[in-house]
A and B are shown apart, each in its own frame.
Chain A
Amino acid sequence: MKPLKFILNDQPVETHTNPSRRLLDVMRHDYGLTGSKEGCGEGECGACSVLLDGHAVNSCLLPLASVQGRQVTTIEGYAKTQRFAVLKQAMGEEGGSQCGICTPGFMIAIESLLKKHPKPTDQQIRIDLAGNLCRCTGYNMIIKAVKRAAKVGEGLW
């Protein structure tokens, strides 16, 4: 059987694993990338979000086969970027992370959002992040963090 090839966090990788496995399991178990979390396993909570060709997707719903030839960025890869550093700082200053289980997924979702809307309105943020559940913050501090990051990091997205 031919190996399945894709780009993982900027590195080309090949695997012979069963292509019907969930991308989330392959990231967590085969590559030890445990920053993507399983909150619900059915695409409701967004804790497992990764970037697929730059767009946030739920890795718990994605069979590995669908990433053939594409770019997968997990929180571990995204954490090496300057945009992440700006967003991390903004999340800290606005208090956007509490228990942290949803946070990597939010970071990925916000990256995807800011690429689409570099200067997002409140409404755009609320709608775009509605696929990521947070039980701790009530979202408002996350929304403020997005706006702060957009401002501080102007030109980065």
Chain B
Amino acid sequence: MKDISRSVPKEDHDEKVSGRALYASDIQMADMHYAKTIRSDRPHARLVRIEYPTLPDGYIIVDHTDITGANHVNMIFEDWPVFAAGVVKHVGEPIALVCGPDKQVIQSICEQVVIEYEDLEPVFEFQDSVVQKAFKKGDPDTAFSQAKEIVERVYETGYQEQAYIEPQGFVGYLEGEKKVTLIGSIQCPYYVKNAVMKTLACDPDDVRVIQAAVGGAFGGKEEFPSLMACQLAVAVLKLKKPIKMIYEREEDMIVTTKRHPSKTTMTAALDETGKVLAIKAHVALDAGAYIGLSGVVLSRAMLAVTAAYTIDHLDVSGDVYVTHTVPNGAFRGFGAPQMIFAIEMFMHHLAKHLDKDPFDFRKAHQAKQGDKTATSGIFRDPILMDAMIEKATNMSDYHRKVKAYAAPNVYRGIGMSWFLHGCGFTGSGESDHIKAKVRLRKTEKDHVYVLVAAVDMGQGAKTTLKKVVVETLGVPYHQVTFDHPDTDDVPDSGPTVASRTAMIVGGLLSQAAQTLKETWQKGKEQVVEKRYRQPDFVVWDEKHLRGDAYPAYSWGVNIVEVSVSPVTYDVKVENIWSVYDVGKALDERIVIGQADGGIAQGVAYGYLEVMQHKKGTIQHKNMTDYIIPTSVDMAPTETVIFDNPYALGPYGAKGVGELSLVGGAPAVALAIEQAIGRPIHKIPATPEMIMELIRHETT
């Protein structure tokens, strides 16, 4: 059999390279109308009075009074209004849409809307906890009472903006009298469909959601598009015309979800030999104005508490705080980057505190197959980290460099992170909430259609999922088609999130293809469906966060080398080396592409990407203010993929998408820490922060 990892041409390469691929804003329809959002300019206020101007013919305004169903976006927490009603809780909160045929007229109508506010006291600090979670492993209380020494450190992370190059957007139109169709830049067709159904209080048949080509998402198009779609659906029903709503960059950056700022307190109980007996950890996340997915983000952060280490006794807790700022949400890594930054820095800082070699100290705590996970589940599968770490240190000449750069005034450093990422939804999420279903349909002409809700947003899902079907069936590529998902055609195979697409959806497709192959009847139409079943070994107690949080884990090692200018404190990333275990790469080139792109975002999170708000207003609101890496900033990468096939993954594949992001920040922060000889507790480590550290000798 040929190796599944061998790369094939990307399914959508030609149309994307030539500019033929149609993104939401490229869609043209006769009689197209447009929409613009009227937004709050206050962080927290009562809406005392709203006065709309007299509208010219063909123009409408929709607000919460037009909603026939629920005025909230269907999510885990149902606290996020579709349109503000009575009160606004963040700058940029949507109040109404103005829709009509001419964008300039729409603009002028927006300018004539008068809103009278009564300002209320805004909160920007971690003070109003709305979600609390906690779990324990072993007996942390006894461990802490027996500790020879207790060491505590606090780690903070800032916002990160997904900065997909295509801003959010939809086109919506009516089919017949009451069916609303929405074509959009989305990760989760059924999240959008379910949200719109709730807001319109309509039947499933009356909402159709189709994915347009997606110009990058990274989590940013997981839940936010549901909000836009609900608003647009209400407008389409009222205006009865096609409406295009595309955000401009500034609007997108001010109002869409971002990575949660966090503050994590790590406390270690050490024994007389300097071993970590127990860790107490508390993570605080800033949800912004509405909770949305923040509780689940908190879970993933907490579950990553010991990352690639085994610590026998843990006391882990977390809070989600609401503040009067833009709601935060999904972003590649989903809570794990914040926690992995904290634990990786903490392990290094503990070693330094104990005057031990950080590499040896970390090695002594490394997780092994058979160990208990943070939530007292089991690491069942082989862990290749010894070999992976050796490979990474050899590739980068780590051990020599770490000694050489320890000399004073070298202004060069090398940092290393070890990490894992749980594949798929947490705990019983797949079996209880998602219940993924996939379908293969074979026509009379023996052509096979892949019918899943998984979205290709650049990560190559179209190519890899089709490849799984093609290779399993043993048919030529042109005999199989994978179109953009349309909820009228595809079953709900779940959202395109959580590093689940290759492993869960791909796994179901390989089962379906196997069944189709075994029952193949030439010249007959056939349909095969498969539904997800939780592996029997996965036992999870959601209430106590105990058991196997994930069926499988992907693993990684990142090494980053930097130089720091002693004059400007500018950081230059010189080189990046990575080693990953993703089970089995379904397509090597695509996995390396994910690795390169993920580490670029992860490293930039650690030193480059600065976003702040001032009294609730985002200050970095365009691509000039908010700096993402350019080709000059990004360093050369060298990446090695280890095979470690997972028995239940298609061809052995585990999760890929998020793994390459989560270790970037601590690796670059540790490199900077070495280069400047000062400990880092906060990211992004900007030149301003480095200057402060050097000038004030803070620890």
In contact, A92 and B21 (Cβ under 8 angstroms):
no
CB distance from A87 to the nearest CB of B (A): 8
Tell me, yes or no, whether A133 is within 8 Å of chain B by CB.
Answer: yes
Partner of A100, one of B215, B218, B592: B215
Residues from chain A with a CB closer than 8 A to the CB of B16 are 97, 99-100, 103
In contact, B18 and A35 (Cβ under 8 angstroms):
yes
Question: Interface digits, B171-211 against A, CB 8 Å rule (1 contact, 0 not)?
Answer: 00000000000000000000000000000000000000000
Instruction: Classify the interface of chain B: helix, strand, loop or mixed.
Output: loop
Residues from chain A with a CB closer than 8 A to the CB of B218 are 135
CB distance from B465 to the nearest CB of A (A): 15
Partner of B623, one of A37, A39, A139: A39
Question: Interface digits, A140-157 against B, CB 8 Å rule (1 contact, 0 not)?
Answer: 111100000000000000
Tell me, yes or no, whether A98 is within 8 Å of chain B by CB.
Answer: yes
Per the 8 Å Cβ criterion, residues 88-107 of A in contact with B are 88, 91-92, 94-95, 97-104, 107
In contact, B628 and A137 (Cβ under 8 angstroms):
no
CB distance from B334 to the nearest CB of A (A): 17
Per the 8 Å Cβ criterion, residues 56-105 of A in contact with B are 74-76, 79, 84, 88, 91-92, 94-95, 97-104
Residues from chain A with a CB closer than 8 A to the CB of B28 are 32, 34
**Max chain B Cβ within 10 angstroms of own Cβ: one of A100, A122, A134, A142:** A100
In angstroms, Cα B164 to Cα A38, docked, is: 12
In contact, A142 and B597 (Cβ under 8 angstroms):
no
In angstroms, Cα B630 to Cα A88, docked, is: 22
Per the 8 Å Cβ criterion, residues 7-41 of B in contact with A are 7, 9-10, 12-23, 25-26, 28
Residues from chain B with a CB closer than 8 A to the CB of A52 are none
Residues from chain B with a CB closer than 8 A to the CB of A47 are 165
In contact, A37 and B215 (Cβ under 8 angstroms):
yes
The size class of the interface chain B forms with chain A is 35 or more
Tell me, yes or no, whether A42 is within 8 Å of chain B by CB.
Answer: yes
Tell me, yes or no, whether B622 is within 8 Å of chain A by CB.
Answer: yes
CB distance from B580 to the nearest CB of A (A): 14
In angstroms, Cα B19 to Cα A129, docked, is: 18
Residues from chain A with a CB closer than 8 A to the CB of B459 are 98
In contact, B166 and A99 (Cβ under 8 angstroms):
yes
* Closest B residue by C-beta to A39: B165
Partner of B13, one of A91, A101, A129, A131: A91
Per the 8 Å Cβ criterion, residues 459-484 of B in contact with A are 459-460
* Closest A residue by C-beta to B164: A135
Tell me, yes or no, whether A126 is within 8 Å of chain B by CB.
Answer: yes
* Closest B residue by C-beta to A88: B17
In contact, B600 and A91 (Cβ under 8 angstroms):
no
Question: Interface digits, B599-629 against A, CB 8 Å rule (1 contact, 0 not)?
Answer: 1110000000000000000000011100011
Tell me, yes or no, whether B634 is within 8 Å of chain A by CB.
Answer: yes
Per the 8 Å Cβ criterion, residues 97-145 of B in contact with A are none
Residues from chain B with a CB closer than 8 A to the CB of A76 are 18-19
Tell me, yes or no, whether A19 is within 8 Å of chain B by CB.
Answer: no
In contact, A104 and B622 (Cβ under 8 angstroms):
no
Q: How many residues of A contact B (CB 8 A)?
A: 53
In angstroms, Cα B388 to Cα A89, docked, is: 33
Say whether, besides A98-B593, A104-B17, A141-B592, A136 and B458 are in contact (CB < 8 Å): yes
In angstroms, Cα B164 to Cα A45, docked, is: 11
Tell me, yes or no, whether A13 is within 8 Å of chain B by CB.
Answer: no
Tell me, yes or no, whether A125 is within 8 Å of chain B by CB.
Answer: yes
* Closest A residue by C-beta to B15: A100
Tell me, yes or no, whether A112 is within 8 Å of chain B by CB.
Answer: no
Partner of A42, one of B214, B593, B601, B623: B623
Residues from chain A with a CB closer than 8 A to the CB of B164 are 99, 101, 135
Tell me, yes or no, whether B632 is within 8 Å of chain A by CB.
Answer: yes
Tell me, yes or no, whether B636 is within 8 Å of chain A by CB.
Answer: yes
In contact, B460 and A98 (Cβ under 8 angstroms):
yes
CB distance from B116 to the nearest CB of A (A): 32
Residues from chain B with a CB closer than 8 A to the CB of A97 are 10, 13, 16-17
* Closest A residue by C-beta to B589: A95
CB distance from B527 to the nearest CB of A (A): 31
Say whether, besides A34-B26, A100-B458, A92 and B10 are in contact (CB < 8 Å): yes
CB distance from B31 to the nearest CB of A (A): 15
In angstroms, Cα B593 to Cα A139, docked, is: 10
In contact, B13 and A44 (Cβ under 8 angstroms):
no
CB distance from B183 to the nearest CB of A (A): 14
Residues from chain B with a CB closer than 8 A to the CB of A143 are 631
Say whether, besides A34-B22, A138-B596, A140-B637, A99 and B17 are in contact (CB < 8 Å): no
In angstroms, Cα B637 to Cα A108, docked, is: 25
In contact, B23 and A101 (Cβ under 8 angstroms):
yes
Say whether, besides A34-B22, A91-B13, A129-B631, A98 and B597 are in contact (CB < 8 Å): yes
Residues from chain B with a CB closer than 8 A to the CB of A99 are 16, 164-166, 213-217, 457-458
Residues from chain B with a CB closer than 8 A to the CB of A92 are 9-10, 13, 17
Residues from chain A with a CB closer than 8 A to the CB of B25 are 34, 37-38
Say whether, besides A39-B249, A98-B458, A103 and B589 are in contact (CB < 8 Å): no
CB distance from B216 to the nearest CB of A (A): 4
Question: Interface digits, B543-564 against A, CB 8 Å rule (1 contact, 0 not)?
Answer: 0000000000000000000000
Residues from chain B with a CB closer than 8 A to the CB of A98 are 216, 458-460, 593, 597
CB distance from A91 to the nearest CB of B (A): 6
Per the 8 Å Cβ criterion, residues 18-34 of A in contact with B are 28, 32-34
**Max chain B Cβ within 10 angstroms of own Cβ: one of A37, A101, A104:** A101
CB distance from B533 to the nearest CB of A (A): 32
Tell me, yes or no, whether B248 is within 8 Å of chain A by CB.
Answer: yes
Partner of A101, one of B215, B600, B634, B637: B215
CB distance from A107 to the nearest CB of B (A): 6
CB distance from A154 to the nearest CB of B (A): 21
Tell me, yes or no, whether B163 is within 8 Å of chain A by CB.
Answer: yes
Q: Known pairs A40-B249, A97-B17, A135-B165; list 10 more (Cβ under 8 Å).
A: A28-B26, A42-B624, A92-B9, A98-B593, A100-B17, A127-B631, A130-B630, A137-B600, A139-B600, A142-B631
Q: Could you show 23 A-B contacts with beta carbons less than 8 Å apart?
A: A37-B23, A37-B166, A39-B623, A40-B622, A42-B623, A44-B622, A44-B624, A75-B19, A79-B18, A95-B590, A95-B592, A97-B16, A99-B16, A100-B215, A101-B23, A101-B164, A101-B213, A103-B19, A133-B165, A133-B630, A135-B165, A137-B593, A138-B600
Q: Which 3 A/B pairs are nearest by Cβ-Cβ distance?
A: A35-B19, A101-B215, A99-B458
